[in-house]
Structure 1
């Protein structure tokens, strides 16, 4: 197992004492990262916690890259997401939109009592994106002295993914080449190689979503079983741990740049 959380770094909230958390929060330009994932089916070959595992790993990687220069902490991940469209295939634990939004607001309200100057809501699930945008506004309005930001981590790959991918557009969709590669690198023991199977994404609307990194401006609601009989979409057969390592490290580069900028703007 490559990735470990909970106490693996000094920027890990869960592994610190309250005094150390307060000491970090009180420093100029302090930054708090809240990873937000989901528990939902990811086909026959990936675990239901895939989104939570990956966003938590990327959050910690970014924090570890900058923790010598930036006062930063990463909270335990918010593990359940907004995933009603996955319910028909089983294994999913979803929250109502308003319940999840209020829960994230409550977490922010209490965590920010420790003095942090900025809060990054780092999202790992496409179905959470509109909710994260709403949370940035509601939390930002409530905490006028804190810079509140929201980001879906895999969108950071847009600048480099063409250097790595082998699949055509549609191959890096749900449980496809991208997520499977990352899981093979980070948590290979959770990937069922013999169960890898997924159809390519076939979106009829030209303006709809065509890939993990090609969202399109048109939102369409469908139950997930309309896309895939396995619950996965894309080209997971093209995934590899080597690709996962390169994707992970280059996501770390992007996170390092962003976290440094947030710190400098709020110091």
Structure 2
């Protein structure tokens, strides 16, 4: 369609009543908005200096889906067999995969920078943390209320492959403590763990809570720039986080403070929430 043809169509449709516009082929469901839509399109093409436009067979929805599928394929191709198993379980239970990927990336970055700064974290904890971050919200399949507990149940009984039963239990409990209550000796499943595994659950849950808080808006925007020691605590510099993400991370830093020391979150760039 040429821009000139588009302009002629606009001039023909503009003076018609909504009832008459609704009788035109393809305009039945757009009788109220077609004049505004044509005006915006014609103006945009004119400003851009275009002479013609090609109508796409797909719309914005299709483009978003294709983009997400490509991003998902690229992400999955770089995973280990164990992480692919965790991702397959997340898909099966209908998790928000974009949020899961982003929280996993934030968790991994926090874990690595903690280790670089001298924190004592077992190497095997990294893989367990990634699995827990991928699966931390699968319990929403059952219910939003108490979904952290449902997540733990689904992880225990979902057929997660590549992990030992003891590792699956740690993953389940890390996911269980990503929100709400902190690990307590009064919780039967937690109390049944060995002292070593309780320590691991405490540390990994502390990291996951902060990572999940940093994507509270589920906009997948916040990035960890630097984590360093500051006095008896830590300074975490983040970029591209919005106000909701910052508030989420600060409110969920309670277990981090208990395990590693106070956490001061510094936003170097704050995005507005739209």
Shorter-chain TM band: 0.3 to 0.5
Greater share of helix? 2
TM-score, normalised with respect to structure 2: 0.32
Structure possessing the higher radius of gyration over alpha carbons: 2
